[in-house]
Structure 1
Amino acid sequence: MTRDEGLFGPRSVTWQMHGDPMMWVAGIRALWLQALHPRAVRGVTQNSDFRQDAWGRLRRTAHFVGTTTYGTTEAAEKAGARVRKIHRTLTALDPATGERYPVDEPELLLWVHCAEIDSYLNVLWRSGYPLTRSAADRYIAEHRASARLVGLDPATVPVNRAEMAAYFKEIRPQLALTDEARDVDEFLLRPPAHPLLVPAREVLWRSVAHLAYAALPPYAHELYGRRAPGGAAVTRELRAAGRLLRGIPARARWQLPPKHILRAVGRLGEDARPAPYKAGR
């Protein structure tokens, strides 16, 4: 009987990378970057109460990534179908022109996809994750699969670092700091928290958020209007954070809900455990 390894499988770069704890920092960077596309960020702010349900939104995003990476093929396809179904029903309004447009426009889906994949790759690589250039290209190419799940034609998606860089160069003139982006920025700096958790937010969240923001490309810092340390200093901070988080035993980290990795290892065997040294194979 053939075992179901899902969309990517234990021999993929994605399988190894997505088990790394720096993915949380990368995910927050992606949110900051995605908010700079005016049409894309309106689709979020006009169709969700992200301030009141921000943590729920983050958990749902993490669950989607975990399911599509480590779940069965059926589970990944069902997760993608749910996302596409929701997006088909949503529109956003451009207040400047009065235009109402669907949030699943291919160019908007492509922006969200590229900002996410670029963030994952950028943060992990700079934090010391052992990636070769060819492995980085493979990672980008593998995510034609996740692009298809959200409704994109895989043929339109960058398949290597050169194509990804060309995409960001082309899209940059469309990026701007809108009121909606300011709302996302303010939220990411000071997310709502129970009064008893405010001290922890100030210590823990601020550290993570600072690092995620600093890891943005320089043009994003210019748009948000806040300086960040130089690239070399940020890379040193990312490496220090990577060493600290990777020092926590993987089995302990993977115990956190919803335990996608542990379920995948239980399904496929111990040889399916993600590990950084496997990414370059």
Structure 2
Amino acid sequence: MRDRWRSHLLQTLSGTDDGSPPWVRQLAEGTDAGYFGPGSASWAVHGGMATMVAGIRALLVQAMHPGAMAGVHDWSRYREDPLGRLTGTIRWLITVTFGDRATAERSSAMVRALHERVRGTYLDASGRSVPYSAGDPDLIEWVHLAFTDAFLTCHEIWETEIPGGPDAYVREWAVAGELIGLTDPPLTAADMRARLRGFSEAGTLRADDRVHDVVRFIRRPPLVPGMLPAYRIMFQGAIASLDPSQRAMLGLGRPAPLAVPATGLVLRSARSLLGERSTSEEAALTRIARLREMT
């Protein structure tokens, strides 16, 4: 039973039963320690189990921007291949976090190239038709802010302290924003959250039928039946982590009672299944140890 659960979890997160697809094994290669390294805030946050809840939260928040929602609706194959889209996002996150610099830059260049192809129009909050590209500065900023806030907030709720504190994580992860084209990423948690509020205060965000459809899909994704009970708990945890105004816009009620401690129990169980270090972190440590031996 334990092995089956572990296999299901690794298949969902990495696309393979053992958590070591070729791109993870390649993290052991490279010529430098990467942008962050052991002991960094980014390694601590992205190596934690709260990332599973953060991913849910980030998708919910990102959907509130009509431009980001249009890109998902018009171009994403999330319904046909939801796990493929998930593992693609995870691959970029893990590669930038644990890979060497050249690998992180190549992965980010692929993301930028994909963004250039994602174009169309959307209706803004006032009902006006607006042309967009996924590479537009405001959309890149929105996605980066929603992502950074989600992973920071969930780590603060369910994990241990961050080396250097929240500002260290925001400052470090600004590098990832720059790699995908953001020219002025926030460098402090206060600035990051102020910019997020700015989108709301400017009246940019909206929740229409497309958003509510995506929320329903995120609430009930096509996972294997054995994983659904744990996922439902984590979904409630994601709801609990949201600001009340975000829950209201998304049409989400109050989280279930005890959502936060129940989610913590699920995350601790996942940690016991997967071990203290991910296969990605182990590969990165192998690379760093090899480089140290060469000096």
TM-score range, shorter chain: 0.7 to 0.9
Q: Within 5 A, what are the aligned runs for 1:92-103? A: 92-95=120-123, 96-103=127-134
Q: SS of 1:93's equivalent?
A: strand
- Provide the rounded CA distance (Å) in 2 between the counterparts of 1:205 and 1:113: 24
Shift of 1:220: 1.2
How many angstroms does 1:237 deviate by?
A: 4.0
Aligned to 2:282: 262
State the TM-score, normalized to the length of structure 1: 0.83
Match of 1:26 in 2: 54
Instruction: Note if 1:85 corresponds to 2:113.
Output: yes
Structure 1 position 248, deviation (Å): 4.2
Q: Separation in 2 of the partners of 1:268 and 1:166?
A: 37
8 Å contact kept, 2:75–2:118: yes
How far apart in 2 are the matches of 1:202 and 1:126? 22
Q: What is the RMSD computed on CA atoms of the aligned residues?
A: 2.4
Residue 187 in structure 1 maps to residue 217 in structure 2: yes
- The CA deviation at 1:47 is 1.0
Aligned residue pairs total: 257
Q: Deviations over 1:111-157 (max 9, x none)?
A: 1001001110100111132237x52101001112100111111xx21
Aligned counterpart, 1:50: 78
Do the aligned partners of 2:42 and 2:97 also contact (CA within 8 Å) in 1?
Answer: yes
Q: Which residue of 1 aligns with 2:159?
A: 128
- 1:63: which partner in 2? 91
Pick aligned residue for 2:231 from 196, 199, 205: 205
Shift of 1:3: 5.5
The structure showing larger relative contact order (alpha-carbon pairs under 8 Å, at least 6 residues apart) is 1
- SS of 2:235's partner is helix
How far apart are the structure 2 equivalents of 1:146 and 1:131? 18
1:36 partnered with 2:71: no
Secondary structure, aligned partner of 1:191: coil
Which amino acid is the alignment partner of residue 179 of structure 2?
L
- Cα deviation, residue 250, structure 1: 2.5
Amino-acid identity (%): 31
Partner secondary structure for residue 75 of structure 2: coil
Taking structure 2 as the reference length, what is the TM-score of the superposition?
Answer: 0.79
What is the match of residue 169 of structure 1? 197
Aligned-pair CA distance for 1:242: 4.2
Residues 51-91 of structure 1 show CA distances to partners (whole Å, capped at 9, x for unaligned) of 11111010010111000010111110000111111111220
User: In the alignment, which of 213, 222, 225 is matched to residue 251 of structure 2?
Assistant: 225
Q: Are the equivalent residues in 2 in contact too, given 1:35–1:41 (CA < 8 A)?
A: yes
Paired with 1:102 and 1:35, the residues of 2 have a C-alpha distance of: 15
- Detail structure 1 runs of 4+ shifted over 6 Å in the superposition: none
* Contact map agreement 2:119 2:132 (CA 8 A) in 1: yes
Contact 2:239–2:255 under 8 Å retained in 1: no
SS of the residue corresponding to residue 121 of structure 1 reads helix
- Where does structure 2 lack aligned partners over 5 or more consecutive residues? 1-29
User: Match for 2:137 among 106, 111, 120?
Assistant: 106
What corresponds to 2:180 in structure 1?
150
Aligned partner letter, 1:22 = A
CA distance in 2, matches of 1:203, 1:37: 29
Give the distance between the partners of 2:168 and 2:271, measured in 1 at CA: 23
Q: Conserved in 2, the CA contact under 8 Å of 1:92 and 1:103?
A: no
Residues 77 and 85, structure 2, Cα contact 8 Å, conserved in 1: no
Matched with 2:10 is none
